[in-house]
Copies of this chain bind each other. A is one copy, B any other.
Amino acid sequence: MATTSAAGTRLDLYRQIARQLRADSIRSSTAAGSGHPTSSLSAADLMAVLLAGHLRYDWKNPDDPANDHLIFSKGHASPLVYAMFRAAGVIDDAELLTFRKFGSPLQGHPTPVLPWVDVATGSLGQGMPIAVGMAVAAKRLWDAPFHIWTLVGDSESAEGSIWEGFDLGGHEVTPNVTPILDVNRLGQRGPTELGWDTDAYAARIEAFGWDALVIDGHDLAEIDEALSRARDAERPTAIVARTIKGKGISFIEDKPGWHGKALSADEAKRALAEIGDEPSRTFESPRPPKWSPPPVTAKAPQPKAYTEPVATRKAYGDALAALAGARSDVVALDAEVSNSTHSEEVKKTAPERFFEMYIAEQKMVAAAVGMQCLGFRPFASTFAAFLTRAYDFIRMGAISQANIRLSGSHAGVSIGEDGPSQMALEDLAMMRAVYGSTVLYPCDGNQTAKLVAAMADRDGIVYMRTTRANTPVIYGANEEFPIGGSRVVRGGAADDKVTVVAAGITLHEAIKAADTLAKDGVKVRVIDLYSVKPLDERTLIAAVGATGGRVVVVEDHWPEGGIGDAVLAALAGGGPNAGLRFTHLAPREMPGSGKPAELLHAAGIDADCIEKAVRGLL
């Protein structure tokens, strides 16, 4: 146990570090001419004590699996986290001053281009649920010794996703993650909703099943004790720290109008004179223990082979279960619809790796992002329509360089009776417009099985769209479906008259139309565009060339941003094409309820409509 004088020495060390974090936050942001120094200063004491007293981190080895994790949910406090990296000695003074400059990894908000950053933040309300998701897997699957710390802004607690994060941790009981709320009272444009009412924050946190430690966020001894207690707690524990925005610099402390504003050179000089303009030094963090997670075991999955009609959502569940049974790094998450997405099949093969996220899609994607930071391969599923709820998390996942797999079931009008609220009709547009994304849309059980297996090894945001209804099996169980490929399922000879591009549910309609037309001697080339992004440009361009520029694209998705747009972009990229004659079949009116066949027809995307469209192009 520390003697009083040892404790005094320790507090003195913290004070030195806090001073340096403040000075460096000012230096970097003033050099940049922008940034959030005041939001950094409020948390400088918290982070100083964390860095030197509690964050078990081998800075020379950021990949050490025993390292603690630190996620700045309030990503705009980037001057502070970069100042911590300087204090840890992993960047130098010159690098610190590249903050926000072109080409610098010290971007306006932290991203994993820096090895000590797990995930990109800056869209508020995300880092915290990501941290809790990480904690859930670390505890349940590894009982890992590391601790996860996340610095949370008071303003961002207005985001419901923060409460989804607390809900997750309360329900899954995660004492291995500590949200540290920096209650500095001032948001971007003025006071926060709750101001300095730390009791109100504590009441909310406690209502979601956590303990809350309310402290003075500038009292180093109180911080030290709270961080110790939080780390050692057996229940989920958060710290609610009353702080002062701009703390340490008299002329900006607790002043409105200073959010997201760098000090001028003169102001910085005055500020540094107050703080102490000493050269920055390097400090030690506590070392992590020696620990490694259990090694990943992997064998080839044994997917089911289908011969009878099956829904691709069911095939997804089967394939995921096979995959989870074969690979110990596969985890499944679902937003309380696992009996519809069929991800519940995983409970049969790897029950401990199935994570119920309840009806909270943001939390689900956040948790998936957190788990992939630990090396897991998450597959997260819900109705495709409800993935729209998580779009900001998906977008940010791409900036986080996250490797996550998403499956959206019940796509399009073909779901039938449930009506438009349950019909994903914008998911392809949404997912195509994610940086580096992969968008897959299988049409039968065997194709689904192969693509699910391929998803496990695919980096980035990988999306699979599945169908509610049973669809015929048109492929053999041993056929291969490379990502980026396509299949010509009808026609292919030189005398094809029209190319029809379809995927998923509409592929079967296209086949029916082609077979009907064939009886009349009209040869149609039908392309199964199961890989919507990346897309098989070569096959498309060749087909359109061979069919005199005549193309019908048919999709169960709004006309904008889906397969039609993707096909046109691919054709336009193929250089001059003479006389493209393009018909786009897609729902154009708001659907209601009805039988799937009725709705496909009303939307103009069933076999009849395809047949008419083809004849219209002849």
Contacts and interface: CB of A to CB of B under 8 A. Distances in A.
Contact of A421 (B103, B120, B203, B340): B120
Contacts of A573: 582, 584
Interface in A178-230: 187-189, 192-193, 200, 203-204, 206-209
A63 interface: no
A565 interface: yes
Given A102-B593, A433-B558, A590-B399, A417 B158 contact: no
Contacts of A435: 425, 558, 590
A100 B158 CA distance: 37
A389 B204 contact: no
A363 B561 contact: no
Contacts of A422: 108-109, 122-123
Interface in A17-51: 32-35
A263 to B, nearest CB: 15
A160 B155 contact: no
Choose among A121, A430, A560 the residue with the greatest number of B CB atoms under 10 Å from its CB: A560
Contacts of A426: 391, 395, 430, 433-434
Given A103-B594, A107-B592, A207-B200, A432 B430 contact: no
A268 to B, nearest CB: 17
A598 B420 contact: no
Nearest to A359: B158
Interface of A: 32-35, 75, 100-109, 111, 113, 120-125, 155-156, 158-164, 167, 171, 187-189, 192-193, 200, 203-204, 206-209, 336-340, 344, 358-363, 385-386, 388-389, 391-392, 395-396, 398-399, 417-422, 425-426, 429-430, 432-436, 533, 549, 557-562, 564-566, 568-569, 572-573, 575-582, 584, 590, 592-595, 598-599, 602
18 contacts: A100-B594, A102-B592, A107-B593, A108-B421, A109-B422, A120-B420, A123-B389, A123-B421, A160-B160, A187-B358, A188-B339, A203-B207, A388-B391, A425-B433, A429-B429, A565-B568, A572-B582, A575-B581
Q: Lowest 4 CB-CB distances: which A-B pairs, in order?
A: A160-B160, A122-B421, A102-B594, A429-B433
